Amino acid sequence: MIYQAGNYDVVVIGAGHAGCEAALAAARMGCSTLMITLSIQHIALMPCNPSIGGPAKAQVVREIDALGGEMAVNIDKANIQIRMINTGKGPAVQALRAQADKEEYHREMLRTLEATPNLSILMAEVDRIETENGRISGVVTRTGARFGCQAVVITSGTYLKGRVIIGDVAFDSGPGNQIPPMRLSENLKELGIELGRFKTGTPPRIDSRTVDFSKMIEQPGDPQPLRFSFISPRNEREQLSCWLTRSNPETHRIVMENIERAPLFTGIIKGRGPRYCPSFEDKVVRFSHKDNHQLFVEPEGRRTNEMYVQGLNTSLPEDVQLQVLHSIAGLEHCRMIRTGYAIEYDYVVPSQLRLSLETRQVSGLFTAGQINGTSGYEEAAAQGIIAGINAALKAREKEPFILKRSEAFIGVMIDDLVTKENDEPYRLLTSRAEYRLLLRQDNADLRLTEKAHAIGLVTSQRWDIFREKKELLDRERARLQEEYVLPLDSRMAKFLADKDSAPLRDRISLWELLRRPEIKIEEYPALELMEEFDLDVMEQLELQAKYEGYIRKQEDQVRRFEKMEARKIPEDMNYDEVYGLAFEALQKLNAVRPASIGQASRIAGVNPADINILLVFLEKKRRK
């Protein structure tokens, strides 16, 4: 029996990291929003590693924050350790990483969701998505409640037809023994959406009271207060350490002696797993020349004894997992609290999506997160906020919000998903971004906050903080460029001598002097007032000065890139009319339906000759 339970502008299915950002974005933009989750107790769950950030991922978290999202604010409230990694490398690859208190992260996110106007939460399972004339009209739950809506965002993560595998044991389940939705996959197929099958995994959890930390290397957080969000206060808090240990030849021997029991090699696991986060048994086999692998033992919270063994993802039988753990230094007597497992799940083949994350088959249907074949909380949250924004815009019949590769790591990720062939779970890497020096974590607000403000997603508080920072940055940059020091300045001469920096031969601006690698802005004797300025502004000024030449080169590259992006391709383009296209190019263009010549040029199988043919065809059509 189906009954009409209510009407909303936007319905979000799922409440993981993608679902939370999607629901918050739609509600904050003024749309009546319903978020439906299988379990309110598992909202913003971290079923795998208890951390946020890292290379490329930190950039994404800062971009979510600059757009008015919640992940950065939430991890600033719930972290138990935070540090900057890759500090010995350039700013393009430096990244924040924070350990999370999993329970606190969930509680803080739930508190935010419940306090958000226009947003309702319902615990239910969606069985069916309804359409009318090819457009979303509503969703129906397992208990028969129907909710009318104009847009739907599916953020089901790894739950769709989830199947957990431990050794030769396999059963239907979502992460953490949660109930998996089994009917929604069939409904999506009925709507004409192609699904694939992927696999991911998680390591065992152990009791900290049974770990010998004296045999491990301590990994503390950074002493100075750090933050992800541009609007969070820089609070000092007690930090918990992580610990480094390693596998050894005995560990690898145990794995190899039981490899015939590993479902990854026996054929029980069918789905393709992430290349950049392989199972431990896969690492042992693939890298047989290595006699050890790094393992990080990480706390899961302040009020729990559970610890996560980073690097030991496995689906080996439970008894073998115990043997493996007990062979590792410091874990000889550890007690396993949760068994590691692999999980297979259905995902939407992302080449069916537009750059707005709307499906091509159904108007008003969006997908975000691991259902799109990605891995990682950060990638999921980033897709969530974009899908939520565009679902709200769709409900208001406005043009979609799309970030280009040159504007954000989020733009790189979505373009990769939609345009490129992905036969494994996608993970965002710094190297995937051509313009990564421009897309640093420190300048995400300067790149994106004005865009988010234009669509109504930035609060007045955030907007005031941003404007104050930008005005201060512009003013101090101008002052550094206009203020000069002379060779006769004895104080500056002594300062340069102390820094082993070349003496001045002519007058020089403070900006030019700051380009020297050995000069730090906070050490400038001519800028005593710098201590009063925000640390973010000081960091920005120094990076802009030191990398000015490289930044200009990348900006020139971006201008050339954007010329190609500006050559739009009509959505109803009939590629069969384009004489001379290679057969493979014709197939790929029809499948991806690129929005621009730039996007078409990035499709595998579409060659420069095909692009030239396409350009000639479009120009002839334009002249007609």
CATH number of domain containing 603: 1.10.150.570
124-128, 149-153, 357-361, 573-577: least confident range: 573-577
Residue 562, in any domain of the structure: no
Nearest to 129 by CA among 285, 296, 270, 14: 14
CATH number of domain containing 24: 3.50.50.60
Q: What is the pLDDT of residue 529?
A: 46
Which of the given ranges, 210-219, 485-494, 525-534, 610-619, has the highest pLDDT on average? Answer: 210-219
Nearest to 442 by CA among 547, 528, 530, 549: 547
pLDDT beyond 80 at 276: no
- What pLDDT digit, counting tens, does each position of 480-500 carry? 899 888 888 888 888 888 889
Q: Answer whether 615's CB lies under 8 Å from 597's CB.
A: yes
Phi then psi for residue 202, to 5 deg, are: -145, 155
pLDDT beyond 60 at 285: yes
Classified as helix, coil or strand, 184 is helix
Q: C-alpha angle 601/602/603, rounded to 5°?
A: 95
Q: What is the pLDDT of residue 533?
A: 58
- What pLDDT digit, counting tens, does each position of 184-206 carry? 999 999 999 999 999 999 999 99
Asked whether residue 138 falls in the same domain as residue 97, the answer is: yes
Boundary (domain end) residue, out of 549, 575, 592: 549
pLDDT beyond 80 at 157: yes
Number of domains in the chain: 4
pTM confidence score: 0.94
What is the average pLDDT across 129-146?
A: 96
Asked whether residue 499 falls in the same domain as residue 592, the answer is: no
CATH number of domain containing 528: 1.10.10.1800
Asked whether residue 500 falls in the same domain as residue 533, the answer is: yes
Classified as helix, coil or strand, 353 is strand
Asked whether residue 166 falls in the same domain as residue 78, the answer is: yes
CA 286 – CA 68 distance, rounded (Å): 42
pLDDT beyond 90 at 527: no
Contact partners, residue 116, CB within 8 Å, separation at least 6: 24, 27, 28
AA identity, residue 192 = G
- What pLDDT digit, counting tens, does each position of 27-74 carry? 999 999 999 999 999 999 999 999 999 999 999 999 999 999 999 999
Query: Which one has a higher pLDDT value, 617 or 204?
Result: 204
Q: If you search the block for the tokens 């890139």, which residue do you land on?
A: 561
CA 312 – CA 252 distance, rounded (Å): 12
Residue 265, in any domain of the structure: yes
Residue 561, in any domain of the structure: no
Nearest to 37 by CA among 15, 59, 21, 7: 15
Nearest to 16 by CA among 82, 101, 138, 102: 102
Question: Measured between alpha carbons, how far is residue 413 from residues 20, 57, 371, 422, 527 in Å?
Answer: 19, 11, 14, 12, 41
161: alpha, beta or left? (left if phi > 0; alpha if psi -120 to 50): left
Asked whether residue 67 falls in the same domain as residue 183, the answer is: yes
Asked whether residue 159 falls in the same domain as residue 118, the answer is: yes
Cα dihedral sign for 78, 80, 83, 85?
negative
Asked whether residue 329 falls in the same domain as residue 355, the answer is: no
Q: What is the pLDDT of residue 397?
A: 95
Residue 557, in any domain of the structure: no
DSSP symbol at 343: E
As separate numbers, helices (DSSP H) first and strands (DSSP E) second, the chain gives 20, 24
Q: Answer whether 597's CB lies under 8 Å from 614's CB.
A: yes
CA 312 – CA 297 distance, rounded (Å): 10
CA 14 – CA 323 distance, rounded (Å): 37
What is the average pLDDT across 204-212?
A: 98
pLDDT beyond 90 at 313: yes
Strand order in the sheet with 10-13: 119-123, 33-37, 10-13, 151-154, 365-367
Residue 244, in any domain of the structure: yes
CATH number of domain containing 235: 2.40.30.260
Residue 558, in any domain of the structure: no
Residues of the domain holding 497: 460-549
Q: What is the pLDDT of residue 525?
A: 58
What is the average pLDDT across 97-121?
A: 97
CA 309 – CA 292 distance, rounded (Å): 15
**What end-to-end distance do the CA atoms of the chain give, in Å?**
56
3-class secondary structure per residue, 88-138: CCCCCCCEEEEEECHHHHHHHHHHHHHCCCCEEEEECCEEEEEEECCEEEE
Asked whether residue 8 falls in the same domain as residue 122, the answer is: yes
- What pLDDT digit, counting tens, does each position of 591-609 carry? 889 999 989 989 888 888 9
Q: What is the pLDDT of residue 193?
A: 96
Residue 322, number of CB atoms within 10 A of its CB: 17
Asked whether residue 44 falls in the same domain as residue 160, the answer is: yes
DSSP string spanning 357-381?
A: SBBSSSBTEEE-SGGGTB-SHHHHH
Residue 555, in any domain of the structure: no
Q: Answer whether 212's CB lies under 8 Å from 266's CB.
A: no
Asked whether residue 290 falls in the same domain as residue 389, the answer is: no
Q: How confident is the prediction for the chain on average, in pLDDT?
A: 92
pLDDT beyond 80 at 531: no
Strand (E) or helix (H) holding 84: strand 79-85
Asked whether residue 151 falls in the same domain as residue 60, the answer is: yes
Q: What is the pLDDT of residue 274?
A: 78
Boundary (domain end) residue, out of 340, 369, 390: 340
**Band (231; pLDDT cuts 50, 70, 90):** very high
Boundary (domain end) residue, out of 403, 435, 454: 454
Asked whether residue 410 falls in the same domain as residue 504, the answer is: no
AA identity, residue 300 = E
Residue 559, in any domain of the structure: no
